[in-house]
A and B are shown apart, each in its own frame.
Chain A
Amino acid sequence: MTEPLLELEGITKRFPGVTALDNVSLTVRPAEVVALIGENGAGKSTLMKILGGVHQADAGAIRIGGRQVAIRTVADAIALGIGFIHQELNVLDNLDVAGNCFLGREPLWGGPLKLINRARIFSETEKYLERLGLSVSPRTPLKELSLAQQQMVEIAKALSQNARLIIMDEPTSCLTLSETDRLLATVKELRAQGMSVIYISHRLGEVEQCADSVVVLRDGQNAGALKREEISHQNMVRLMVGRDLKDLYVSGAGAQEPDFFRVRGLRTTAYPHCEISFSAARGEILGFAGLVGAGRSEMAQALFGVDKALGGDVALGGKPLAIRSARAAIAAGIYLIPEDRRRTGLITSMTVRENITLPGLPGLASAGLISRRREDELAARQVAALHVKTPSIETRAMNLSGGNQQKVVLAKWLALQPQVLIFDEPTRGIDVGAKAEIYKLMRGLADQGVAIMMISSDMEEVMGVSDRIAVMHEGAITGFLARAEFSEEAIMHLAVGKTAAA
Chain B
Amino acid sequence: MANERGGISLAPMLAKKELGIFVLLVALCTIVALKSPAFLSSANLQNTARLIGMYGIFSIGLGIVIITGGIELSVGSAFALQGVMLAIMLREWGWHWSLAAPAVVLGSMLIGCLHGVLVAGVRMQAFIVTLCGLLFYRGVARYIANDETKGFGTESFGPLRDLATGNVGGVNGVPMPFVLLLVVAAVMWVVLHRSVYGRYLFAVGRNEDAARYSGINSRLVIASAYVVCGALAGVAGIIIAFYTNSISPAGHGNFYELYGIAAAVLGGCSLSGGEGSIIGIVIGTALLQVLQNLVNLLGIPSSLNFAVMGAVILIGVLADQLLSRRRGAAKGGVGKT
Contact indicator per residue, chain B 115-147, by CB within 8 Å of chain A (1) or not (0): 000000000000000000000000000000000
Contact indicator per residue, chain B 226-246, by CB within 8 Å of chain A (1) or not (0): 000000000000000000000
B45 is an interface residue with CB less than 8 A from chain A: no
A376–B5 CB distance below 8 A: yes
Instruction: Specify which chain B residues have a CB less than 8 angstroms from the CB of A369 in the assembled complex.
Output: 6, 190, 194-196
Contact indicator per residue, chain A 35-47, by CB within 8 Å of chain B (1) or not (0): 0000001000010
Chosen A-B contacts, 15 in total, with CB atoms closer than 8 Å, are: A15-B336, A304-B213, A327-B217, A344-B213, A345-B210, A346-B207, A347-B210, A361-B199, A370-B6, A370-B194, A370-B199, A371-B6, A372-B6, A373-B3, A400-B334
B214–A358 CB distance below 8 A: yes
Instruction: Specify which chain B residues have a CB less than 8 angstroms from the CB of A365 in the assembled complex.
Output: 195-196
Contact indicator per residue, chain B 1-36, by CB within 8 Å of chain A (1) or not (0): 001111000000000000000000000000000000
B215–A330 CB distance below 8 A: yes
A18 is an interface residue with CB less than 8 A from chain B: yes
Instruction: Specify which chain A residues have a CB less than 8 angstroms from the CB of B215 in the assembled complex.
Output: 325-327, 329-331, 359
Query: Apart from A325-B217, A326-B213, what 20 extra A-B contacts exist at CB < 8 Å?
Result: A20-B337, A306-B212, A325-B215, A326-B214, A327-B216, A331-B215, A338-B213, A347-B207, A354-B203, A358-B199, A358-B211, A358-B214, A361-B199, A362-B196, A368-B195, A369-B196, A372-B6, A373-B4, A373-B6, A400-B334
B213–A431 CB distance below 8 A: no
Complex: how many Å from CA A402 to CA B334?
12
Interface residue total, chain A, C-beta cutoff 8 A: 43
B206–A350 CB distance below 8 A: yes
Contact indicator per residue, chain A 316-358, by CB within 8 Å of chain B (1) or not (0): 0000000001110111000010100001111111100010001
B306 is an interface residue with CB less than 8 A from chain A: no
Instruction: Specify which chain A residues have a CB less than 8 angstroms from the CB of B3 in the assembled complex.
Output: 373
A412 is an interface residue with CB less than 8 A from chain B: yes
Q: List residues of A (377-436) whose CB comes within 8 Å of B's CBs.
A: 399-402, 412, 431
Instruction: Specify which chain B residues have a CB less than 8 angstroms from the CB of A347 in the assembled complex.
Output: 203, 206-207, 210-211
B335 is an interface residue with CB less than 8 A from chain A: yes
Complex: how many Å from CA A257 to CA B215?
28
A348–B196 CB distance below 8 A: no
A348–B207 CB distance below 8 A: yes
A336–B199 CB distance below 8 A: no
Q: Is the interface of A mostly helix, strand, loop or mixed?
A: mixed
Q: List residues of B (304-337) whose CB comes within 8 Å of A's CBs.
A: 334-337
Complex: how many Å from CA A343 to CA B210?
6
A111 is an interface residue with CB less than 8 A from chain B: no
B202 is an interface residue with CB less than 8 A from chain A: yes
Interface residue total, chain B, C-beta cutoff 8 A: 29
Instruction: Specify which chain A residues have a CB less than 8 angstroms from the CB of B6 in the assembled complex.
Output: 369-373
Total A-B contacts with CB atoms under 8 angstroms apart = 93
Contact residues of A with B, CB < 8 Å? 15-16, 18, 20, 41, 46, 304, 306, 325-327, 329-331, 336, 338, 343-350, 354, 358-359, 361-362, 365, 368-373, 376, 399-402, 412, 431
Contact of A349 among B190, B207, B209, B214 (CB under 8 A): B207
A15–B207 CB distance below 8 A: no
Contact residues of B with A, CB < 8 Å? 3-6, 190, 194-197, 199-200, 202-203, 206-207, 209-217, 274, 334-337
A358-B203 CB under 8 A given contacts A16-B335, A18-B337:
yes
Complex: how many Å from CA A368 to CA B196?
6
A346–B337 CB distance below 8 A: no
A370-B195 CB under 8 A given contacts A359-B214, A359-B215:
yes
Complex: how many Å from CA A281 to CA B217?
30
Instruction: Specify which chain B residues have a CB less than 8 angstroms from the CB of A358 in the assembled complex.
Output: 199, 203, 211, 214, 216
Instruction: Specify which chain B residues have a CB less than 8 angstroms from the CB of A338 in the assembled complex.
Output: 213
A343-B337 CB under 8 A given contacts A306-B212, A349-B274, A372-B6:
no
B196–A361 CB distance below 8 A: yes
Instruction: Specify which chain A residues have a CB less than 8 angstroms from the CB of B196 in the assembled complex.
Output: 361-362, 365, 368-370
Q: Which residue of A lies closest to B198 (CB)?
A: A370
CB distance from A131 to the nearest CB of B (A): 36
Complex: how many Å from CA A501 to CA B26?
80
Q: Choose among A338, A361, A362 the residue with the greatest number of B CB atoms under 10 Å from its CB.
A: A361
A15-B335 CB under 8 A given contacts A369-B190, A370-B195:
yes
Complex: how many Å from CA A75 to CA B261?
41
A16–B214 CB distance below 8 A: no
Instruction: Specify which chain A residues have a CB less than 8 angstroms from the CB of B217 in the assembled complex.
Output: 325, 327
